[in-house]
Amino acid sequence: MASKKSKRKTVRLKLPVQSGDLEGLEIGTVVYLDGVIYTGREGVYKKVLEQGAELPEGLVETSNVNFHCSPAAAVEPDGSYSVGGVTATASFRFSKWMPEWLRKSNAKIIIGKGGMSVEDYHDILVPAGAIYLTTVGYGTGALLGRGIKGVKAVHWLEELGNAQAMWVFEVENFGPFLVESDLDGNSLFEQQGKLINANLEQLYKGLKAPALSRYGETDDRKDELI
């Protein structure tokens, strides 16, 4: 008898999200977004938090979603922008800026690739009432690009360059993303990692010890990281 497949829960959030929109949102939930988002990574963080630049006027009122990404954008003959895709970048690199950024921007959703540490979720995102959404796998930049309906503004483009500038996008059915951390700091990656690691011994059972040739390697499975 064929096993019954479970259907993953899917939600669609209108932006900016309100205080109750994220309550009860479970890790692993598929999320699509409608509204305004902005890109912001180390170039923007340094510009605003270290150099004292003001946030663009109206940003806090119109969006509370910060996407760690680099857009593939081109300038059209009329001066407008077309965006073919958006490539997420690893968020753990920005941890040192996140506490102050969340306070200043009031961001409630961080989107990126690979997640952040569980400690960052508990110490930074939870106190701010924020969650983390992760992109789904690799090579989805063009798929996400379909959800971008227009470029509302670009800030510090000449100074920071295409990848580091702040792009403000109007999005519709933008996704899919997965809830990697919820309002309690639970982590999908941590949860699944524990399940995988619990079966490592069984996976390697009966195999010969690996031939080690580099300094510092070990055949102790407890030292292995997946």
Question: pLDDT at position 2, please?
Answer: 47
Q: Which of 149, 148, 103 is nearest to 124 (CA)?
A: 103
Q: Could you tell me the two tokens for 145? A: 């690009």
Question: pLDDT at position 3, please?
Answer: 47
Radius of gyration of the chain (CA): 20
Indicate the DSSP class of residue 40.
-
Question: pLDDT at position 142, please?
Answer: 83
DSSP 184-220: T--BHHHHHHHHHHTTHHHHHTTPPPP---STT----
Cα–Cα dist 117/122, whole Å: 9
Question: pLDDT at position 1, please?
Answer: 44
Indicate the DSSP class of residue 113.
B
Question: pLDDT at position 167, please?
Answer: 96
Question: pLDDT at position 136, please?
Answer: 87
- Amino acid in position 122: H
Question: pLDDT at position 30, please?
Answer: 96
Question: pLDDT at position 130, please?
Answer: 98
pLDDT along the chain (226 residues), means of 10: 64 95 95 98 98 97 96 85 90 97 98 94 97 85 90 95 95 96 90 64 69 61 54
φ, ψ of residue 79 in degrees (nearest 5):
90, -5
Cα–Cα dist 159/140, whole Å: 28
Question: pLDDT at position 190, please?
Answer: 75
